[in-house]
Amino acid sequence: MIIREARESLSRKKAVVPEQSRNRPLALFTESIMSLLTSRHTDVAFTDLVSLMAQTFPLAAPALYVDTQGPEPRAYSALDANEGGDRDAVRVLGARRYAYTRVLAGGQAPYGPSRVDIALVKGPHATVSLSVNPGGHEGIFYEWVKYLTPAIAKLMDNELLLNMAFRDGLTGLLNYRAFSEILTTEWERARRYKTTFSLMMIDIDHFKRINDENGHPAGDQVLRSIASRLMSRLRKSDQVFRYGGEEFMVLLPQTGVYKAGLLAERIRGVVEKMRFPGGVGVTISVGVSQYEDGRTVSDLVKQVDTGLYLAKGKGRNRVEIYKDLQR
């Protein structure tokens, strides 16, 4: 897949890149490739790679731009976003929403007006490019690319396979497996740094009736439409999961339970007004809970499920906050 595309691109590149002196800083080749091959996460690998390049050539102000099918594009840059970084990212990625990671490498790197772009991976599944300031060091970066491209291609292949394993095929949302891992990570972060987060559990009311009366294709359309509406109503930092069947989970970092409850009520109202083919309308019931010190991951899931159970018991099409149940 990506590795094959990278090899084809690399073979073409070798024909046009001039031979450089063998007296190059080979240590960076080795360190960069080891970082890429040993890291479990592309975010960590790309941040480390840009940091190494920026430490060696700070005036080059290197940036890596990653664009794959599905997730939003990503920028890993030694440039400050407000001092040329955003401008460079838009130049490469286009005027779309993207995630920006500022890589600190011992000083403020300048922004050059005529950036040099070097393709590392280019294909239908993923594009990864390196952007640097001009200044006589481009030859070394081209030399590095010959060593880095295969490692980056392998890393991107692994990311795409992992992304497929963590996505629900019908809605495109993150699935139950992803929820378990991401919730544990958020719980560890909140416990360590004394922060909080909230969970929202959403269930489509009388969903079986929709399938029975209108057919499973109609039910699938309801699931896809509600998933899309959830994504459009949440913040960039929030995560939406298809938890199972007609149930969704929403993880809201840095959010207290009452703010989460207000958001849940807005979402409930939006879904109530939605209409599907044949004039079909649906409602949702929502349970909400918040992480507090001493609560385990299992506690949180049980508590948000308890809130949802109560919402169902009180007639459906409503929101119930677990904290309120303790009074």
CB 182 within 8 A of CB 268: no
Asked whether residue 157 carries a pLDDT value surpassing 90, the answer given is: no
pLDDT digits (tens, 9 = 90+) for 242-300: 999 999 999 999 999 999 999 999 999 999 999 987 788 999 999 999 999 889 999 99
Per-domain boundaries in the chain: 2-165, 176-325
pLDDT reported for residue 76 = 93
In this predicted structure, the answer to whether residue 7 has a pLDDT above a threshold of 90 is no
Mean pLDDT of all residues in 141-153: 83
With a cut of 70, say whether residue 311 has pLDDT above it.
Answer: yes
Q: What is the residue whose two structure tokens read 């139950």?
A: 176
Indicate if the pLDDT at residue 3 is higher than 70. no
Round the average pLDDT of the chain to a whole number and report it.
84
Query: DSSP readout, 155-202?
Result: HHHHHHHHHHHTB-TTT-SB-HHHHHHHHHHHHHHHHHHT--EEEEEE
The model's confidence at residue 153, banded by pLDDT at 50, 70 and 90, is confident
pLDDT tens column, 34-53: 666 666 677 778 888 898 88
pLDDT class of 32 with cuts at 50, 70, 90: low
Assigned architecture for domain 2-165: 2-Layer Sandwich (3.30)
pLDDT for the residue numbered 117: 95
CATH architecture for residues 176-325: 2-Layer Sandwich (3.30)
The pLDDT value recorded for residue 33 is 67
Please name the residues in contact with 284: beta carbons below 8 A apart, sequence gap of 6 or more.
202, 203, 204, 205, 226, 267, 268, 271, 272, 317
Work out the percent of the chain whose per-residue pLDDT is above 70.
84
Q: What is the mean pLDDT of residues 139-148?
A: 83
For the stretch 180-190, pLDDT in tens is 988 998 899 89
**Predicted pLDDT of residue 84:** 92
Residue 91 or 56, more confident: 91
